[in-house]
Amino acid sequence: MLAYIVRRLALMVPTILGIMLVSFVVVQFAPGGPVERVIAQLTGDDVSATARVSGGGGDFAGGAQAPGAGGGGADASKYRGAQGLDPNFIKELEKQFGFDKPPAERFALMIWNYVRFDFGRSYFRDISVLDLIAEKLPVSISLGLWMTLLTYAISIPLGISKAMRDGSRFDVWTSAVIIVGYAIPSFLFAILLIILFAGGSFLDWFPLRGLTSDNWAQMSWPQRIGDYAWHLVLPLTSMVLGAFATMTLLTKNSFLEEIRKQYVITARMKGLPERAVLYRHVFRNAMLIVIAGFPSAFISAFFTGSLLIETIFSLDGLGLLGFESVLNRDYPVVFATLYIFSLAGLLIGLVSDLTYMLVDPRIDFETRDV
């Protein structure tokens, strides 16, 4: 097992490098950038963004020559909207954002810093990238963790019931509900829930914004728990609706496959009660793939399932942070989140494989090629 772990860890290095390199190259050819964004702010073309950058700790324009205070050489600038700006000011912007170095040098420096988990500071927020991620982390943890737990809590009992009643009216009707739930996009269902239950057009039962109320700090602990759960009802319902379909059918098919095996028939012939056959013999073998897939299911829900839900319900988490960072060309945040998520995904994949081996000793990845 040790050799397998070492091989998998070694393969993570070129994988991470490939992901970061492709993303870095794409960014080089993408229109816009932090320099052009600051120029747009100064010329009045982008009034929505902040004008703060990481290096100076204040308004960027305050530490450089005023726009238009230079000669006509700026008209030849390679940046859109830079006509009329002082060329020295443009050079200061490039230096501030690191664009005064060749792309290869910038990429090598970025990777070296990331290996040491030094992600720098946000371009447009006066905060380090790690602090910014830590600030948004609780929201994403709440959504990802509770979504995963609820998905398993619903899917496993439902999948077992469907397997035991395969072909019955219950199985047919629940399959129809599962398929419909899977087909409806989570964001569309979220909008429907808002219209029905969050003061959209009908009832006003649930809050529409955030994970806690404004007076949460003044509440007692039982009230805080209730308030937190109340805020999670609509977002989690939207996310879980489609998520439990795959897990339910996976559980059902796993149980059906085990129920038809010879050892189950033998146990029944010995007169064991059906409940004993199901939970003492079938359950452990049928649940191998479900249990072993928990780490990857959690990481998937944690990192990929909440962008639109966070936006719709005004939840300030990692999904919304990544989306806004891409729009704002806040490259330190974009590349740092990409690096962290990719590394976490690869490690969780390894943990999932090791979990398979622990749950079922018959599985041996050591004898297989990675």
Q: What is the pTM of this model?
A: 0.72
Question: Tokens 């830590």 identify what position?
Answer: 134
The distance in angstroms from the start CA to the end CA of the chain is: 12
Q: How far apart are CA 364 and CA 56, in angstroms?
A: 55
Residue 65, classed as helix, strand or coil, is coil
Is the pLDDT score of 334 beyond 60?
Answer: yes
Q: Which residue has better confidence, 38 or 135?
A: 135
* Predicted confidence band of residue 21 (pLDDT cuts 50, 70, 90): very high
Q: What is the pLDDT of residue 44?
A: 63
C-alpha to C-alpha distance for 242 and 59, rounded to whole angstroms = 45
Confidence of residue 113 (pLDDT cuts 50, 70, 90): very high
- Return d(Cα 328, Cα 50) in angstroms, integer: 10
> Which of 188-192, 257-261, 284-288, 361-365 shows the lowest per-residue confidence on average (mean pLDDT)?
361-365
pLDDT at 203 over 90: no
Percent of the residues in the chain that have a pLDDT greater than 70, as a whole number:
80
Residue 326: which of 27, 109, 104, 58 has the closest Cα? 27
pLDDT surpasses 50 at 48: no
Tokens of 242: 């489609």
Q: Is pLDDT of 53 > 80? A: no
pLDDT of 175-185, one tens digit each?
998 888 888 88
The pLDDT of residue 152 is above 70: yes
* Residue 225 scores a pLDDT above 80: yes
Buried-state track 34-60, b at ≥16 Cβ within 10 A, e below 16: bbbbbbbbbeeebeebeebbbeeeeeb
Using the predicted structure, report yes or no on whether residue 202 has a pLDDT greater than 90: no
Alpha carbons 255 and 163: distance in angstroms, whole number: 6
Q: What is the pLDDT of residue 85?
A: 67
CATH code for the domain defined by 138-359: 1.10.3720.10
Over residues 212-221, mean pLDDT? 85
Q: What pLDDT does 291 receive?
A: 72
**What was the pLDDT predicted at 22?**
93
Pair of tokens at residue 236? 């989690």
Compute CA 346 distance to the chain's CA centroid, rounded to the nearest angstrom. 14
Residues 6+ apart with CB under 8 A from 247: 151, 152, 155, 156, 159, 290, 297
Q: Which tokens in the block code for residue 123?
A: 């371009």
CB 252 within 8 A of CB 159: yes
Per-residue pLDDT for 321 more than 70?
yes
Q: What is the pLDDT of residue 129?
A: 92
- pLDDT(207) > 50: yes
> Rounded to the nearest 5 degrees, what angle is found at the Cα of 183, between the Cα atoms of 177 and 187?
110
231-247 residue pLDDT tens: 889 988 888 877 788 88
Q: How many helices (H) and strands (E) does the chain have?
A: 16, 0
Pairwise CA distance, residues 338 & 151, whole Å: 26
User: What mean pLDDT comes out for the span 286-310?
Assistant: 70
Instruction: Grade residue 322 by pLDDT with cuts at 50, 70 and 90.
Output: confident
Q: Which two tokens stand for residue 320?
A: 């919304």
> What is the rounded average pLDDT for all residues in the chain?
78
Average pLDDT, stretch 131-144?
86
